[in-house]
Every structure is written in structure tokens, then in C-alpha cells.
Amino acid sequence: MKGATLLELMLALLISTLILSGLITVYLAMQTVNQTQVALTTIQENCRAARTLLSFDIKMAGYAGCAKLRKYYPINYSAAFSLTNANKIQSYHSAAMKAGSAALTVRHAAGKNAVLIKSMKNYSLLYTSAAPRFYRGDLLYLSDCSNAELFIVKDLIRENNGIQKILAERPLHTLYKENAEVSEFNINTYFVGQTARRNANGAVIYALYRQDIKLHKTELIEGIDDMKVKYNFLENGQLYELTEAEVNDWSKVVGISIMLTLSALNSVSLQKNEYIYVSLRSL
């Protein structure tokens, strides 16, 4: 039998090396494409989630339940807990925010409400339907389309039939009739802040956060690096876009323009800007 020569062995080894190198190159390229596709899909999903969350809450700004109350706002419980044309939407500043980013606060009554199941006979005592569930310390909004006010729940008892017996922290100004609406009052603040996590490249991960009326902070969507906000005004049929520093009268804001910067969480260097415009409720 004739054996292979050294030259033939070296040639076979070279060919095998080239083939293996090509396969590795193709594999790495496919890995990069796959990681890029995953990053792009994640960014797109985060874009949709952020748009949905922000658009819904901003559209609710100033919501006072009954249409008749769109130009009338409830008695202020305090300076911190109030709803006016000027504070339904406002800018916000906090040490928890990412430096250089913007934030905004939205105030409105919740869309879901309970109703009084009997007319009030005591200025501090209310009986409401079982849902939605309220809790001690909640700030609630009460309206009958003629009057409206805010109050804090001092105590609450759920009766066997599900009815909620609520004691207000302070006496109300009106004895409301049966079927008056009771809902949570929301003061939601949205901002970009730092998480305790890092991405595949070791960089800090930022996220969109929401802070509620009780100052509880919740991470909503990770991978949002920045948020810029501009405020729109309508004057003489012309729409103007102003920065926070240029706004003199918040009651005249008719729309919000938001630019979110989103980035990949894996090792791919990929960023995308998402532009959102939301019109406020007309009053």
C-alpha cells in the first residue's frame, strides 16, 4: 500500500483549516445577526410598551369623571393633593432621575370607579360598591357631576356582602347622593433612572420608572436611556413647541412631545429614538 506524503498531509490540513475557519466565520456572523435581531425586536417591543403606557396616562391628564366637570375641578384637599388646569400636567425634578433627562407628572381621576350604594347621611361616612377595592390611606375622588372633591381614607371596613364602608379623614363639604362616583386619584410621575443592573458590555442599564401618589417607585421598561419632553401650545391657530424652561402657563399646554432613547441590553451596540406625541383632553 502506498502511504500519503508529507506534502499531501500538509495540504489536507490546510484545506481542513480553511473549511473550519469559514464555518467559524459563518457561525459568528450568524450569531451577530441573531443578537442584532434580538436586540432590535426587544427595542421595538419596549418602544410599543412605552408608547402605550405614556400615551394612555397623558391622555387622562385632568380627567375629572363627568364631562360637565371638565372645566371644574374638585375642592383641593391640600396644596400637594389637588387638581387644577395648571397642574394636570407638569414637569418634574428629582435626584432619582438620570442627569440631563426630563420627567413629567400627570394628575387625574382613575378611569374605573365605584359608586355610592346609598346616599350619605354623615359628612365623613360613605358606603361604596365592592369594586374597585380601596385601602386605608388612599386619596379618593368623589363626584356627582354637580360637585366633586378629594378625600383621604382614614379607615375602611369590607362588609360580608362586599360593600366598602369608608371613613374619610376629614368631613366632606357635601352629602352626596346614591350612585355618585368614587375613584382613586392618581398623581403619576414618569422619569428615566438607573437600575442596579448592567448589560452584557458592563454598562449601566437605565429604565423608565413611574412614581405614584404615595411616592412608590416602580420600574416599568428597561433599556430606556433618556427622555426629552417638549410642551405644545396653540395660539392664533399656530402650534408652538416649547421647552420646560419656556413654559409660563401650564394651563395652556395642549399636547406633549416626547423623545425616548432606547438601547440594546445585550452586547450589540444599537440605539433607537422613539417619538411620541399626545394631545391633552380639551376642556
Q: What is the pLDDT of residue 119?
A: 95
Report residue 219 as a C-alpha cell: 420600574
Q: State the CB neighbour count (10 A cutoff) for residue 11.
A: 12
Q: What is the chain's percent helix, strand, coil content, to nearest 5? A: 20, 40, 40
C-alpha to C-alpha distances, 118 to 104, 115, 125, 127, 197, nearest whole angstrom:
38, 9, 11, 6, 51
Q: What is the pLDDT of residue 237?
A: 79
Q: What is the per-residue burial (b if ≥16 Cβ within 10 Å, else e) of 162-195?
A: ebbebebeeebeeebeeebbbbbbbbbbbbbbee
Distance CA 147, CA 124 (A): 16
Distance CA 36, CA 274 (A): 18
Report residue 81 as a C-alpha cell: 393633593
212 Cβ contact list (under 8 Å, min separation 6): 186, 187, 188, 218
Angle formed at CA 113 by CA 278 and CA 255, multiple of 5 degrees: 10
Over its C-alpha atoms, the chain yields an Rg (Å, rounded) of 28
Q: What is the pLDDT of residue 283?
A: 53
Please spell the DSSP secondary structure of 100-146, one letter per residue. Answer: T---EEEEEE-SS-EEBSS--SSTTEEEE-SSS---TT-EEEEE-SS
Q: What is the pLDDT of residue 32?
A: 63
Q: pLDDT tens, 225-250?
A: 999 999 999 888 788 889 999 999 89
DSSP 75: B
Q: What is the per-residue burial (b if ≥16 Cβ within 10 Å, else e) of 62-78?
A: bbbbeeebeeebbeebe
Q: pLDDT tens, 37-78?
A: 777 788 888 888 999 999 999 999 988 877 656 666 788 888
**Which residues in the chain show pLDDT less than 50?**
1
CATH 3.40.50.10490 fits 114-185, yes or no: no
